[in-house]
Amino acid sequence: MSRTAALSALLLLCVACASAEDPALEKVRKLVEKSLPGIAAEDVQPSPVPGLFEVRKGSAYAYLTADGKYLIQGDLMDLESGRQLTEERRQESRLAVLKELGQDKMIGYGPKDAKYAVTVFTDIDCGYCRKLHREMDQYNARGIRVNYLFFPRSGPETPSFYKAEQVWCAPNREQALTAAKQGAEPKNTRSCKNPILQHYEAGEQLGINATPMIILPDGELVRGYMPASALAARLAGTGWDKIGAAEGAVN
């Protein structure tokens, strides 16, 4: 188990224990439901810091004092260990969303037993998404499988969204997606049952606002296109920042 996964499991265990033993939690949840419409009771959990409760809305996190009086917006960091506590929670959330969707609702390129598997939110009409896809052989050659989820930036009921549905409904989704990213107009029906709206809603839940967005196996988010050599180095934990990384290249 990776260090991040182990820390996440420990944090979840601590949250479960605290939820069962902390009498203040229900009180705080009731205060939040009254004061912050749209926040459900289960979105309020104990935090790693005594006296503070975590409040989550999608990918946004805040912290509430035990008396329910003060709300603190921002990320928690453990100065002693250097751990980014809030970001670790975001990573957990990303992985939970991807697990709920399942790989059968993704379009994958590369061996299923590849050394690494990343998930990419993509838009067929995004220039840097197309650049990433043109280099698919390079990612696969470095042991990286790419699993795609669709995030048409124009939103539902738009041409980009329809293209994603048509690709999903094609007899060969991998070939259809490659052709679409090369500029070909999909000619398949979009009337089949498809998960494109689920993809889009998952992206919104995770705060995706541009493409491509890459989620690494531990839940870390890479914003934008990254060359295969740099991504492989990052996954391996070596000097990825010195290999011409282009993180931030999004459309």
Q: Which residues are catalytic?
A: 123, 126, 129, 153
* 188 DSSP assignment: S
Residues 6 or more apart whose Cβ sits within 8 Å of residue 20 = none
Whole-angstrom distance, CA of residue 229 vs CA of residue 169: 33
Angle subtended at Cα 9 by Cα 7 and Cα 11, rounded to the nearest 5 degrees:
70
Residue 108, φ and ψ in degrees, nearest 5:
-110, 150
Task: Give the per-residue SS3 of 36-80.
Answer: CCCCCHHHEEECCCCCEEEEEECCEEEEEECCCCCEEECCCECCC
